[in-house]
């Protein structure tokens, strides 16, 4: 009998009352390994009320004491990282080492949040007028929520929880029901670190749970990562109910390869960026744009050589370059897009549909039911094809050839998505011009996956991001706090009578 993953509320596991559950699969075998409770609206509202009660004491705790809890939390996550990564790997399908990277990149942001005592300081102006001082305070919003995706079940929850908690908020996490165990484990470790019960809650669910968070008058901010249609839905719903929102959607990330680039370096970088984690990354490179036909021909041959060496296998296989997709629905979608590209006339150089797992078994487990698909490569793709316009979210790389730098630059600039982009070149002037002119939120120069470090912000443009504040970095504390400005005067002497004109300083 499979185990049941419960909600985590007020510092302890809490079984769902509705009886509604969803299967949690092992993507490498296709077998059910657990079920997860799905919350009703009433259950979500109870969690919100509990978080609101707990938040008052947490906000009253000094920032220095709050970050001591976060420091211990970081220590405990590091001590348990192999266990966490193994669980993540078995539920998501990414390889064990990739899963550890998922956790570590999340911890980077929690480490940044340790600077909360400094980041939360306000401003002070002395004697702006006779006897008048003005100062500001950054105060927590109250109860905030994160709605996070399946593809980074540790990193993105930590990106949101770390700054939110450091700023004095209570945080409610609604993770993906596809891989819910790691978020619960993170909340358990927060309690072990000394975090108060009710400050970090995990509630599982589907659209019902999401809408309950969106409709609540108590929840003051929502952080979301997922598809663009859902990002727009949440952003619009938050605007209607007066909530802050940072909603990050889909991506179609380009890599430009100029004729002067080291093509071996570019091909190696492209291989990992396109096929790592089976392409299930919002920062994956899915469009290669070689400039010039000679560059394109050489790049194509180098990619064919490298793709032929990749091993697709069980998520815990140390020799696997990448594992399965997360679910049968994901596998069906990727196969369908490959068929669409072929039907549209793109040159299907390598067809991943013909390859499943490289091996039939791993550690005694039958892999025939796993959601494996081999790496796919298209060439001579045009901008009207669905494999170019849409986010496939699988191990599919398309080559779109450009004759000039200007033609190549126009591709990411005119695409609906603007999440990440990269350029490979040895020409500093070209790289500088590209970084200045490209209409994309995150840019890599000879860096294939330009995920900013924790003390810079992460966020896309256009249909990739909705809201004016990004994830992590300085924006995180701006997002999770509100500014209160105080004008103060302590009168000396007798009252001088009422004033009926607008006060003027100076």
Q: Which residues are catalytic?
A: 282
| Max Cα-Cα span within the chain | 91
- Nearest CA-CA partner of 103 in 82, 125, 129: 82
How deeply is 294 buried, as exposed, middle or buried, from its count of CB atoms within 10 A (0-12, 13-18, 19+)?
A: exposed
| Strand-by-strand arrangement of the 132-140 sheet | 124-129, 132-140, 481-489
The CA–CA distances, whole Å, from 437 to 267, 288, 409 equal 24, 19, 8
Q: Angle between the 405-414 and 428-437 helix axes, to the nearest 10 degrees?
A: 30
Rounded-to-10 torsion of CA 150, 155, 156, 160: 150
Report the distance separating Cα 370 and Cα 328, nearest Å. 8
Of 237, 210, 241, nearest to 148 by C-alpha is 210
- Residues for the chain: how many in total? 506
Residue 388: C-alpha distances to residues 87, 103, 347, 396, 417 (Å)? 34, 31, 13, 10, 11
Planar angle of CA 384, 388, 394, nearest 5 degrees:
150
Residue 484 β-bridge partners: 137
What does the alpha-carbon distance between residue 235 and residue 453 come to, in Å, rounded to a whole number? 26
Token representation of residue 456: 């810079």
Q: Which of 109, 167, 144, 141 is nearest to 222 (CA)?
A: 144
């Amino acid at each position: 009998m499979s185990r049941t993953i419960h909600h985590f509320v007020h510092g302890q596991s809490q079984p769902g009352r509705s009886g509604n559950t969803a299967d949690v699969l092992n993507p490498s075998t296709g077998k059910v390994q657990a079920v997860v409770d799905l919350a009703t609206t009433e259950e979500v509202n109870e969690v919100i009320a509990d978080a609101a009660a707990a938040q008052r004491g947490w906000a009253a705790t000094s920032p220095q004491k709050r970050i001591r809890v976060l420091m211990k939390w970081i220590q405990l996550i590091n001590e348990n990282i192999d266990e966490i990564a193994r669980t993540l790997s078995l539920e998501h399908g990414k390889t064990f080492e990739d899963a550890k990277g998922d956790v570590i990149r999340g911890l980077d942001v929690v480490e940044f949040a340790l600077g909360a005592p400094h980041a939360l300081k306000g401003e002070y102006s002395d004697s702006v007028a006779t006897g008048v001082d003005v100062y500001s305070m950054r105060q927590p919003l109250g109860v905030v929520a994160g709605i996070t995706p399946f593809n980074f079940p540790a990193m993105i929850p930590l990106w949101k929880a770390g700054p939110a908690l450091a700023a004095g908020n209570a945080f409610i996490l609604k993770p993906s029901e596809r891989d819910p165990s790691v978020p619960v484990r993170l909340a358990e470790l927060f309690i072990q670190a000394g975090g108060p019960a009710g400050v970090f809650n995990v509630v599982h669910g589907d659209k019902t749970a999401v809408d309950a968070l969106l409709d609540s008058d108590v929840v003051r901010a929502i952080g979301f990562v997922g598809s663009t249609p859902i990002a727009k839905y949440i952003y619009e719903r938050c605007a209607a109910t007066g909530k802050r929102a940072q909603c990050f959607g889909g991506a179609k990330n380009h890599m430009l390869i100029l004729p002067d680039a080291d093509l071996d370096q570019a091909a190696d970088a492209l291989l990992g960026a396109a096929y790592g984690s089976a392409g299930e990354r919002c920062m994956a490179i899915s469009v290669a744009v070689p400039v010039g036909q000679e560059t394109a021909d050489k790049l194509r041959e180098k990619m064919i050589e490298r793709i032929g060496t990749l091993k697709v296998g069980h998520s815990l296989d140390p020799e696997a370059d990448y594992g399965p997709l997360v679910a049968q629905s994901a596998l069906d979608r990727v196969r369908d897009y490959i068929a669409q590209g072929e039907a549209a006339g793109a040159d299907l150089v390598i067809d991943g549909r013909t390859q499943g797992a490289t091996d039939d078994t791993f550690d005694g487990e039958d892999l025939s039911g796993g959601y494996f698909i081999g790496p796919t490569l298209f060439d001579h793709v045009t901008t009207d094809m669905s494999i170019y316009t849409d986010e496939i979210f699988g191990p599919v790389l398309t080559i779109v050839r450009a004759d000039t730098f200007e033609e190549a630059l126009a591709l990411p600039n005119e695409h609906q998505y603007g999440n990440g982009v990269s350029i490979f070149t040895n020409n500093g002037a070209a790289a500088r011009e590209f970084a200045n002119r490209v209409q994309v939120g995150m840019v890599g120069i000879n860096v294939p996956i330009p995920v900013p470090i924790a003390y810079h912000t992460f966020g896309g443009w256009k249909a990739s991001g909705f809201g004016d504040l990004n994830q992590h970095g300085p924006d995180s504390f701006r997002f999770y706090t509100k500014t209160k400005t105080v004008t103060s005067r302590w009168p000396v002497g007798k009252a001088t009578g009422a004033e009926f004109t607008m006060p003027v300083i100076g």
